[in-house]
Amino acid sequence: MAKSIGTLAHMLLAPVFEKNPFVQIMIEWPAIVGKDLASFTMPQKIVPNRETGDILYLVAMSGKEMEVWASSCLILERVNQYLGYAGLQRIRILK
C-alpha cells in the first residue's frame, strides 16, 4: 500500500527529532508559543549552561523586542513544559 510523503518523511526523520529537541522546538514553535508570538519570533539556538540554566536565543522582528521581553516568562514556561523539564532559564533576544 502506498504511503504519503509526510508519513515517509516522518519515519525517516523521527530519529533525528528524538535526538535533537531543538529541531522539535523549531518545527512545533507555533503550537508551543502560540501563533501570535510565533508570527514575529523564531528560536535560533539553545546554549547549555550548567551554572545558571540553559539559554534560549530567539530572533525577533524589528520593533517587537519589547513584546518578546514582556512575554519571556510565558515563552520559557511553554518551552519547558513542551520539553518536559525546566532546563531553560533565560531568553536572549536577537535582531
Reduced 3-state DSSP string for the chain = CCCCHHHHHHHHHHHHHHHCHHHHHHHHHHHHHCHHHHCCEEEEEEECCCCCCEEEEEEECCCCHHHHHHCHHHHHHHHHHHHCCCCEEEEEEEC
pLDDT tens for each residue of 2-19: 567 767 776 776 676 666
Q: Which of 19-23, 31-35, 38-42 has the lowest mean pLDDT?
A: 19-23
> For residue 7, how many other CB atoms are within 10 A of its CB?
10
Say what percent of the chain tops pLDDT 70: 87
* pLDDT for the residue numbered 93: 96
Task: Please tell me the pTM assigned to this model.
Answer: 0.78
Q: pLDDT band for 80, please (50, 70, 90 cuts).
A: very high
Edge-first strand listing for the sheet containing 41-47 = 41-47, 54-60, 88-94
Domains and CATH numbers, the chain: 21-94 (3.30.300)
Q: From CA 44, how far away is CA 46, in angstroms rounded? A: 7
What number is the average pLDDT over the span 38-65? 94
